[in-house]
Chain A
């Protein structure tokens, strides 16, 4: 199945802004994060189709995944 992965802020550096990835049917969000080359600890806030989601959430064809790094400075 195809999913669109969008990276934000510093996660784009050396990776991409937005790309489609082919994942095995039944893959979960954690698999999409791995497919984007993002380590689990780097993915602080993740949305699927603009809804906050946990790594175990199953994905479906056409889902849009948005991944943000942890931002905590002041």
Chain B
């Protein structure tokens, strides 16, 4: 099947790009899944057309690396909904969407996957469905649980990075600690009102635990709430940092705290 599939894909490509229709035909003809077809295309130097606008920034080799990567999105609410969307469109090959909750009305102001018709549905399932709608070549694994230090070894098995979509300081400390123990990078962001912060906890670092200290209780979001713009911005920062980590590109946020104030429209950066 391998040689036949590769030949079929090469014959179906137009200008180095492989149309989705050809991917579907290849899947039907060779009894392959969308993921297998995408892997075969990238492996033989063909960019699926869906990534045409990634090509100049990510490149074919980068796209293949993203396809081979697994990212855990911890929490599928305000940050996590956007994270799932961005990582699936980026072409991360496997996304594990972890959240114990179901959508409720107070999520509608900001959570991408919260709609009138999704009220009451589990967030992890909604995330997996969205990933499959965007990109059937991406493995979408929903996990209806609170990610914590006890279940982290199983849920983070094979993960290249964990993206922070959590909504409580205690959860972040716990998951960041688990990531440190397992040697998995933790891409952190948190939001409140007009404000967002982000950093990357590299393996071997305890940056997030040090950032929050032993503090109990919620942050200023309990008074300010969370309008849509801060989680959208913070998730975009996380997606870019995750992409850089997976591809080994650019200057990451490891060792730095980025703080963005959308009310003053200022950003500040401090070493951690």
Contact status of A70 and B261, CB under 8 A, knowing A9-B195, A52-B270: no
A-side contacts of B166, CB under 8 Å: 74
Q: Are A71 and B195 in contact, with the CB atoms below 8 A?
A: yes
In the complex, the answer to whether B270 meets A74 with C-beta atoms within 8 Å is no
A interface footprint on B211-232 (CB within 8 Å = 1, 0 otherwise) = 1110100111101111000010
Give the interface residue-count category, chain A.
20 to 34
- The answer to whether A74 and B261 have CB atoms under 8 Å apart is no
Q: How far is the CB of B111 from chain A (nearest CB, A)?
A: 10
Residue-wise interface mask of B (251-270) relative to A, using a CB-CB cutoff of 8 A (1 in contact, 0 not): 00000010101001000101
**Residue of B whose beta carbon sits closest to that of A70:** B219
Could you tell me if B191 and A74 are in contact, using CB atoms closer than 8 angstroms? yes
Q: Complex: how many Å from CA A14 to CA B123?
A: 38
Q: Assess whether A8 is interfacial by the CB under 8 Å rule.
A: yes
Task: Tell whether, in the assembled complex, residue B226 and residue A73 are in contact, meaning their CB atoms are under 8 Å apart.
Answer: yes
Q: Chain A: which residue is nearest B207 at the CB level?
A: A52
Please, how many angstroms separate the alpha-carbon atoms of A73 and B236 in the complex? 16
* Residue pair B215, A70 in contact (C-beta under 8 Å): yes
Task: With a 10 A CB-CB cut-off, give which of A12, A44, A70 has the most chain B CB atoms.
Answer: A70
A72→B221 contact, CB < 8 A: yes
Do B220 and A70 touch (CB < 8 A)? yes
Whether a CB of chain B sits under 8 angstroms from the CB of A45 is yes
Q: Which residue of A lies closest to B165 (CB)?
A: A74
A74 contacts B219, C-beta separation under 8 Å? no
Asked if A73 and B219 sit within 8 Å, CB to CB, the answer is yes
Q: How far is the CA of A47 from the CA of B79 in the complex (A)?
A: 27
> A70 and B167: CB pair below 8 A?
no
Q: Are B212 and A73 in contact (CB under 8 A)?
A: no
Contacts of B168 in A (CB 8 A): 72, 74
Q: Which residues of A contact B (CB under 8 A)?
A: 8-10, 12, 17, 41-42, 44-45, 47, 50-52, 66, 68-74
